[in-house]
Structure 1
Amino acid sequence: MRLLMLGGTEFVGRAVTEAALARGWEVAVFHRGRHAPPPGATALHGDRIAPGGLAALEHGEWDAVVDTWSGAPAAVRAAAGLLADRARSYLYVSSRSVYTYPARAGLAEDGPLVDASPDSVDVDYAQAKRGGELAALSAFGDRALLARAGLILGPYENIGRLPWWLTRIARGGPVLAPGPRDLPLQYIDARDLATWLLDAAERGLGGPYNLVSPPGHTTMGELLETCVRATGSPAELHWTDPDRILAADIAPWTDLPIWLPPGELHDTLHRADVSKAAAAGLRCRPITDTVTDTWAWLRGLGGAVPQRADRPRVGLDPQREAEVLAAQRQRQ
């Protein structure tokens, strides 16, 4: 197989590139040159939002194109339009954010979608991803696969969610652990996403798929307790009622990454129907593997955690955490 990876030097794109190379595929990585692609890949340089930035893609043929773009849909439209006659399929890594909010628990791929356009330039994340889907469909039709990923974790993460929990727990001491402890979580390891995408490319699959683990694949308790074991930390998890956390003006998802209190938003993010993807071969590794491998990757970086420039840093301020824990002890 000949794969063109648009991106491919960070997080999901890198996971896809490494998985394809491991299969013996010929992989070309189109990127801006800020980070080196994995060894064995052919580098094609260009900036897809600059005038003439797609020149490196004007020649060549591929069996599959994988695109993880999350900016203006017009960039997907331009790339997909250029490649439509020279690539067999176009796999666009989208997001479950394309569903109108709130997405009810158990929502499948036929749920209502946000309004968007493939020609958009200045739009929010949900509209950008839906616009990207429309752009891919416009150029490739039923040869376009829309991988609507949920929460993505694993090595190479440059958003900072799991890395924050690992580094916080590794620091030790009392840790504000957002409850309930048995709160079910739904996520996908970037490597499992990559494996499924490449299998789908081989089979010529098209259309939308919710790409995330089954609901309850792990829990908040299992996640944080696995972080404690993986880091070997003496950290003490202090499980705290969601109402107390919200009353302290601590923001779910950003101050406490991954966590959402039970309710509408939690149902939207952590209770999707993934039966279609499962029937098409999706297999998700246990949380122990994701956490342990991410910690090993972080340790190999020597403390320098990658951070996407277009995403805000996540995590609770240590002083704020200490204040909330102290107030909690006083109430007890």
Structure 2
Amino acid sequence: MGGTEFVGRAVTEEALARGWDVTLLNRGRHEAPKGARVLLGDRTAEGGLAALAEGEWDAVVDTWSAAPSAVRDAARLLAGRVGTYVYVSSCSVYRHPRAAGLAEDAPLVDGSPDAGEVDYAQAKRGGELAAAQYFGDRALLVRAGLILGPYENIGRLPWWLGRLARGGPVLAPGPRDAALQYIDARDLAVWMLDAAARGLGGPYNLVSRSGHTTMGGFLEACARAVGSTAGLHWTDPEPILAAGIGPWTDLPVWLPPGDLYDGIHRIGVGKALASGLRCRPVEETVADTWSWLRGVGGVAPQRPDRPYVGLDPEKEAEVLRATGVTTAS
């Protein structure tokens, strides 16, 4: 469903590389990977799923993150003609506060498969319920964490790469040794296709182990990838927060210690690891993303339904000066 952007594209390319027959349903707004069969349709429009009225498939992969009713309609139409319904959900479906190490049986937010436009967490939970309603234990609910890698259209890793490439003193949010969790979209794709082929179902937290890299390892890998000599000035969370700088949005990927950090960078992934999840080194994810970013002129595509991320240069300079770092006027 889709198959031309970020996670969907990673799935399409991985499936094609395996020699699988791949069918995409999308609006035709982005060029599809060569070798995929494209059916045109807008799942938000009346009759938008008509191209899927006939045919059988071993698996469907659905990355939808808006109204759950769209997942419901697709799952209902495909029930009986598809083996496994892979729905890319999110760890956002877990209810706050989220304890470190939370597993798939942790409390969930409320959701409805029939809902229209709702907030992100409820949308993903509603999508899960919609897939399960029509596919039961053949619904594979992939609760992804932070996703990075080539073709990213959210802007998190591309922003950091661009910032390091720009040079000058860089506000590096600490702690430097803070453990991070994320998953490369390509590793997510590999796991999902393997899991679908094995007939796995039910919920899985899909993200690297906590500490796959650290905040320091991540930013240092970005600096090496772009060949930057910019100085990383590690700064404690307190002056960053006091300056009104937003974690995760102004400074992508970063969260200060606390409940939010525990719920994003300390998620339990024992079930996924036991089922075969493998994650490539951060250096590979960062370098490949930089190579792709340069290939598209240095400007990453931006999803229209997501806000831009990144820190205003003047705000960054203000905090750096307050901590004793000399910046250009």
TM over 0.5: same fold?
yes
Question: Is it true that 1:104 corresponds to 2:99 in the alignment?
Answer: yes
Matched-pair contact (CA < 8 Å) for 2:151–2:300: no
How far, CA to CA, are the matches of 1:28 and 1:168 in structure 2? 38
How far, CA to CA, are the matches of 2:123 and 2:299 in structure 1? 30
Report the equivalent of 1:135.
130
How far, CA to CA, are the matches of 1:246 and 1:258 in structure 2? 15
- Structure 2 stretches of 5 or more lacking a match? none
TM-score, reference length from structure 1: 0.97
Report the equivalent of 1:3.
none
How far, CA to CA, are the matches of 1:43 and 1:85 in structure 2? 22
- Structure 1 moving runs of 4+ over 4 Å: none
Question: Is it true that 1:41 corresponds to 2:36 in the alignment?
Answer: yes
Classify the secondary structure of the residue corresponding to 1:30.
strand
How far 1:58 moved relative to its partner?
Answer: 0.4
How far, CA to CA, are the matches of 2:190 and 2:173 in structure 1? 32
Matched-pair contact (CA < 8 Å) for 2:75–2:135: yes
How far, CA to CA, are the matches of 2:58 and 2:14 in structure 1? 16
- Structure 1 stretches of 5 or more lacking a match? 1-5
Report the equivalent of 1:179.
174
TM-score, reference length from structure 2: 0.98
Of residues 8, 13, 24 in structure 2, which corresponds to 1:13? Answer: 8
How far, CA to CA, are the matches of 1:303 and 1:216 in structure 2? 29
Question: Is it true that 1:55 corresponds to 2:50 in the alignment?
Answer: yes
Of residues 271, 274, 281 in structure 1, which corresponds to 2:276? Answer: 281
| Count of aligned pairs | 326
How far, CA to CA, are the matches of 2:21 and 2:229 in structure 1? 46
Amino acid corresponding to residue 320 of structure 1 in structure 2: K
How far, CA to CA, are the matches of 1:246 and 1:304 in structure 2? 28
Of residues 160, 176, 180 in structure 1, which corresponds to 2:155? Answer: 160
How far, CA to CA, are the matches of 1:146 and 1:322 in structure 2? 43
How far 1:122 moved relative to its partner?
Answer: 2.2
How far 1:13 moved relative to its partner?
Answer: 0.2
Question: Is it true that 1:323 corresponds to 2:318 in the alignment?
Answer: yes
1:177-256 alignment to 2 at 5 Å? Answer: 177-256=172-251
Question: Is it true that 1:125 corresponds to 2:120 in the alignment?
Answer: yes
Task: Give the 3 Å change call, closer, same or farther, for CA 20–330 of structure 1 in structure 2.
Answer: closer
How far, CA to CA, are the matches of 1:10 and 1:129 in structure 2? 18
How far 1:323 moved relative to its partner?
Answer: 1.2
Percent identical across equivalent pairs?
73
Matched-pair contact (CA < 8 Å) for 2:64–2:88: yes
Amino acid corresponding to residue 112 of structure 1 in structure 2: P
CA RMSD of aligned residues (A): 0.9
Q: CA-to-partner distance for each residue in 1:53-100, whole Å, 9 max, x for gaps?
A: 001110110000000000000000000000011101100000000000
How far, CA to CA, are the matches of 1:118 and 1:202 in structure 2? 26
How far 1:327 moved relative to its partner?
Answer: 1.5
Q: CA-to-partner distance for each residue in 1:105-145, whole Å, 9 max, x for gaps?
A: 01100000001100000210000000000000001001100
Q: CA-to-partner distance for each residue in 1:10-56, whole Å, 9 max, x for gaps?
A: 00000000000000000001111110110000001100010110011
